[in-house]
Structure formats: C-alpha cells, structure tokens
A = this chain, B = another copy of it.
Amino acid sequence: MKFVCDGLSLSEAVMKVSKACAVRSTAPVMECIKISADNDEVVFLASDGELSIQKTVKAEVFESGEICVPGKLFSDFVSKLTGEEISINTSDKGMEIRYRDSGTSMQTIRAEEFPKIDLEIGENYFEMKQNDLKKIISETTFCCAQDDARPVLKGCLMEFGDKLEMTALDGYRLALSEAKILSKSGEKSLICPARTLGEISRMLTGEEEEITLYNKGGLLMVKSDGMIVVSRLYQGDFIKKENVLPSRFTTNVTFDKNELIASVERAAILIRGDKNNLITLEIENDGVNVSSASEIGNVAERVSAETDGVELNISMNAKYLLDALRALEEEKITISFNGAVSPFILQNAEKKESLYLILPVRNAA
C-alpha cells in the first residue's frame, strides 16, 4: 500500500474515525484503524463491536492495499502534521509515514484480522432535517441511564411513525421529544445507544440539509459527507410511555425559567454533599417557595409564578430538575403536578414538542 495525501484532510478523517476505536480491548485489532487504499481513495474504518465509523478521503494512490494501525496513536500523530503533505506506505517494518525529510514507522496488524463490518444497510429508511435530528438528540440523551443495570436504558427509543418520537429514561426521570420526518419506508421502533446518537449528532454539520437514517435488523446506519456511522441497536422492552405519562393534572404552574434555575442552583449548593440532593417546592396561589436544608444551613427563596389548581408541597432531586429546565427552550415553562407523590412533568409554556417527567421524592419531614 502506498498513497500521498494532505495532512489536514488525513488528520480530520482519522480523528473522526478514531472515536469508534475500542479503548481497552483484549483484541488489539479492535483498538486499530483499518486503512484501505484503492482507486484514488483511502478509506479509514474503526469499530469497537457496537459502533463503527468509516470515512473516505481523496488521495493519490500509487499502490493499493490494506493495513491496520493503532488508532489513538495514529490519530494523535497525524494531528501534528496538518500542514504537511504526507506519504504513507507499508513495508516489512510496518507502516511508514513520511513528510519533508522526516519519517515515522508504526507497528501494524494485518488487515485480515479486522472484523467484517456490514455497511450495506438499507431495508428501512427515514429522512429528516439535520437540525431536527440534532435537536431531538440533545433534548433526550442526557436522561439515558449511565450504568449497566438495565442496558436497554442506555439507549433512546426511536419511534418512527407520522413523526419521530424519541424517549429516554433512567428509572427516575423520562425525556420525550418529537421531530418531523420528511419521508420514510414504513413505521418502525428502534432502541439506539445514546453514544451512537452523540456521534451521529457530531458528524452532522448542516442545518436545513437532509439526512437519512437506514435500518436493517439490529443495525442503524447514517451516511453524510463521505462518512458512515453504523451502530448495533439494543434489543429488549422499553417502558410504554402511555402507561407513565399522566393525562390530567391537579396543579399547573408557569415560571420564568431563568429565575427558577437561578433559585434552584442556589438551593442546590447547600445540599451538595447529600445523597438525595433534595429540594422542596411549596406551590402557593401567589408564588412558589424553593427551599433546601442540610446540616450546614438552609435556603428559602420566593419565586414568582402563575399557579392554577391546588396548592402543594413537593420534593425532588435538584439535579434532575435543573437538567430538565436547562433543556427547555422557552423563557416561560410550565410544570404540572398531581399531588406530592406522583410524577410531574415540565414543558415549554407554548411549544410542547418536548416533555420531561420526574419522580418526586417522598419528603421525610
């Protein structure tokens, strides 16, 4: 294998692909990037078994061939060569990277050891705008579970119907958001790892441009600008959101979002060390009291609000409340309650395209 290309496009491609390299694998080849040169194109491919990323760049190919090199090392190294013209060729000593009067050699692994990755995924497709997809990803994935207790909860449920409905939950809270679909092959429900969605979001640089998601069996694929992301999907049962979302509420309160965030942030400082991270909202007809208390002190703040319905006193994890408030877009937001022990939901006051549900904590006091 031998090719010449410019350092900047090489570095950009390798950096993107290296996100899919396994970090500490028992099989060293999973930490590698596979490089394939042929027909004036060089293809970089990495995969950790769950997520695979491939990127193709133009190059002057003198001798076609394939090889695997350590991904992180290669990525860090070429990131220091963005201004050079780079010549890469394989020899007995491994792979040589030459630039100006200088050169580097790196150990390699034979391309045959790299796992076969199926990139021909086209049974179902769903087309949407890039910024719609990015928005729905950023509005939901932060509510996915972080631990492996129930692996399926580390993903988002994507329901492709008339529109795309995306649900994330971790057992204490739920996020639900929807986005327009431009065209599709049919209806489908998939559970996609949050990590994959993050990488897809990062690869999308357009706004109004379209992007198509392809699905076949347990795989999802997205293609954009010479780059392909393929991910395994999670299999299993996701909670039915219809069973969780209340249809009516006894109290609706509309807040100025930033005023409420500032108040909850202050209340959260005093309870930082506490396990439950508990703050209390006391909903009154003419306003809301935000309070927290711990060994070291207590906060009691008055926040203006428009209340409709019965008064109540409800406690919750301050982090969940802040995460949801920060994810909502509008200046005015509405929180709807059903008493002190039932889940409550947060939405923009006007455009209710996304929704957050949080379980309250029974207040011991």
Interface residues of A (CB under 8 A from B): 70, 73, 76-77, 80-81, 94, 100-107, 262-263, 265-266, 269-270, 295-302
Contact = CB atoms under 8 A, between A and B. Distances in A.
A107 B296 contact: yes
A300 B80 contact: no
Contact of A105 (B81, B103, B297): B297
Number of this chain's copies in the assembly equals 2
B262 A104 contact: no
Contact of A80 (B77, B265, B295): B265
A contacts with B: majority SS = mixed
A104 B299 contact: yes
Nearest to A296: B107
Contacts of A80: 262, 265-266, 269
A80 B265 CA distance: 8
Contacts of A300: 102-104
* Most chain B CB within a 10 A radius of its CB, from A76, A77, A80, A269: A269
Contacts of A104: 266, 270, 297-300
Given A76-B269, A270-B77, A297 B107 contact: yes
15 contacts: A73-B270, A73-B297, A77-B270, A80-B265, A80-B269, A81-B266, A94-B297, A100-B302, A101-B301, A101-B302, A102-B300, A104-B266, A104-B270, A104-B297, A107-B296
A256 to B, nearest CB: 13
A311 to B, nearest CB: 18
Given A262-B80, A269-B80, A270-B77, A106 B302 contact: no
A107 to B, nearest CB: 5
Contacts of A269: 73, 76-77, 80
A296 B81 CA distance: 19
A233 to B, nearest CB: 35
Contacts of A296: 70, 73, 106-107
A295 B102 contact: no
Given A269-B76, A270-B77, A102 B302 contact: yes
Contacts of A297: 73, 94, 104-107
A94 B102 CA distance: 68
A260 to B, nearest CB: 13
A104 B80 CA distance: 52
A102 B264 CA distance: 12
Nearest to A69: B297
Contact of A107 (B76, B105, B295, B301): B295
A298 B266 contact: no
